Amino acid sequence: MRGTKDLTVGNERKLIIQFTIPMLIGSLFQQMYNVVDSLIVGNFIGKNALAAVGVSFPIIFLLISLLIGLTIGLSILVSQYFGAKDIKKVKEAIDTIYISLFVASLIITAFGLLFSRELMQLLAVPAEIENDSVLYFSIFTGGLVFLFGFNATNAILRGLGDTKTPLYFLIISTVLNLILDVVFVGVIGLGVEWVAIATVFSQFVAFIAAIIYLNKRHPIVHLSLRHLKFNKEIFRQSLKMGIPSGLQQSFVAIGILALFRIVNEFGTDAMAAFTIASRLDSFAAMPAMILASALSNFVGQNMGAGKIERISKGYRETVKISVVIAVSVSIILVAFRTSLISVFNQDPQVIEIGSHYLMIVGFFYLVYSLLFVNQSVLRGAGDAITPMLITLVALWIVRIPISWWLSRTYGTDGIWWGIPIAWGIGFALSQIFYLRGRWKKKSLVNKKPEVIADGMELLDDFIVE
């Protein structure tokens, strides 16, 4: 098998960078799509449509957050089994991922379609954008099974140390999505619902292409409906990671919804500005999230192999890389904040509100990056509960109350200040738990010598050195 990489041997910095680069390129494509998508909607359809698309995303994130957590749990299991060289369990974990996510995605899709309008009303979405929001949300939700099939495949491959193969299919999805958006909206002049159709169709094409390719070229990741086996014990172990991780994602999703609820009180201009700034914010935060994901898989494989000291070295190298990237990103976003916002929409009020967001939040991406790095070590080691509790405190005891309270006096600027304050509290807590070191005893797999020996014989045939 080509593409998998054993992260338990070799130079830590080199491995983490090699593992990160394909993910970074893929995310750049994805984030560039999000940026261009907002550009097309904001300039060809208008700020109301832009706000409608923006307000839909946190609701979608809320609905799929538990599935994201389950994917994280199963991916960590794949990493640890692969690190322990237990290939049989790797295959069983992969089958369990596909079965679990398929059933769960159908349930969530049904719920989203049935209650789409009620969810928008719960957020107090302005009447002028409610119909567009419901339409976009309903179409996007209808394609969740393809989204999760595609993302599950990528998560599995990352667990095996392969970040190059997911990159190829992510590029296919992103480029196709972008072309369809330009044709549907920019050329033909269709509405916001066609933006959602383009996204769903692109995910469908990428997922099918990935499955066809992997079934022909990958001996471990081989999806066959007739031979899928559901392993109850692996599913139970995945829940140990998946439920806390899913709850953490849910806290984040509900926190974003709560923030949108506060922003909505200030009108469509504030909503559009927040949507634009959030797009840029996601772009800025992307390196931190990717490095954290790379480190999490690095930690998972080395926990499976019992190499704790190697994890500490990988952590230190990731922190160094994060500092350089985060400081550079902050300088760029703060220096060019007004120009960046104005590219998406020319409304003076939207530009002013969005620029203030970047000015306030932009200085604190280093804190955000280090928070993610710390949590990735805990999660990769098998401790999903601590990151969940940190997120709960940072969001619901710090960010939402402070953002609401400050907004009463300082308007939207007060909302934005709650974000870096919460990051600071979250980072402090995560640093304490990392230094305490209890994560070193959280491995999810048993490292039996006979399993490792058998696995090494299999891995020698296809691991990329």
Q: Per residue in 44-103, pLDDT tens?
A: 777 777 777 777 777 777 777 767 777 777 777 777 787 777 778 878 888 887 888 888
Please give the single-letter amino acid code of residue 67.
Answer: L
What is the pLDDT, as a whole number, of residue 5?
64
- CA–CA–CA angle 365, 367, 370 (5° rounding): 110
Structure tokens at 149: 């099939």
- DSSP letter (8 states) at residue 220: S
What is the pLDDT, as a whole number, of residue 400?
92
* Beta carbons within 10 angstroms of residue 411's beta carbon: 15
Cβ distance 51 to 129 under 8 Å?
A: yes
Scanning the structure block, which residue is given the tokens 């490792």? 452
Query: pLDDT tens digits for 320-367?
Result: 999 999 999 999 999 999 998 988 878 889 999 999 999 999 999 999
Structure tokens at 270: 């504030």
* Beta carbons within 10 angstroms of residue 36's beta carbon: 15
- The closest alpha carbon to 30, from 155, 218, 240, 202, belongs to 202
What is the pLDDT, as a whole number, of residue 412?
92
What is the pLDDT, as a whole number, of residue 395?
85
d(CA 425, CA 52): 32
Structure tokens at 278: 């959030």
Residue-wise pLDDT tens for the chain (465 aa)?
455 566 777 888 888 888 788 878 877 776 666 666 677 777 777 777 777 777 777 777 777 776 777 777 777 777 778 777 777 887 888 888 788 888 888 888 898 888 888 888 777 777 778 888 888 888 888 888 888 888 788 877 777 777 788 888 888 888 888 888 888 887 888 878 888 888 889 889 988 888 888 777 776 667 666 777 888 887 887 777 777 877 877 787 778 778 888 998 888 888 888 888 887 887 788 888 888 888 888 888 888 888 888 999 999 999 999 999 999 999 999 999 999 898 887 888 999 999 999 999 999 999 999 999 999 999 888 888 898 899 889 988 999 999 999 999 999 999 999 999 999 999 999 999 999 988 888 766 655 544 444 444 444 444 433
What is the pLDDT, as a whole number, of residue 464?
39
Question: Residue 67 burial by CB count (10 A; 0-12/13-18/19+): exposed, middle or buried?
Answer: buried
What is the pLDDT, as a whole number, of residue 219?
66
Cβ distance 399 to 422 under 8 Å?
A: yes
What is the pLDDT, as a whole number, of residue 451?
42
* Beta carbons within 10 angstroms of residue 363's beta carbon: 15
d(CA 50, CA 52): 5
Task: Give residue 286's Cα distance to chain centre.
Answer: 9
What is the pLDDT, as a whole number, of residue 465?
36
Scanning the structure block, which residue is given the tokens 């700020």? 47
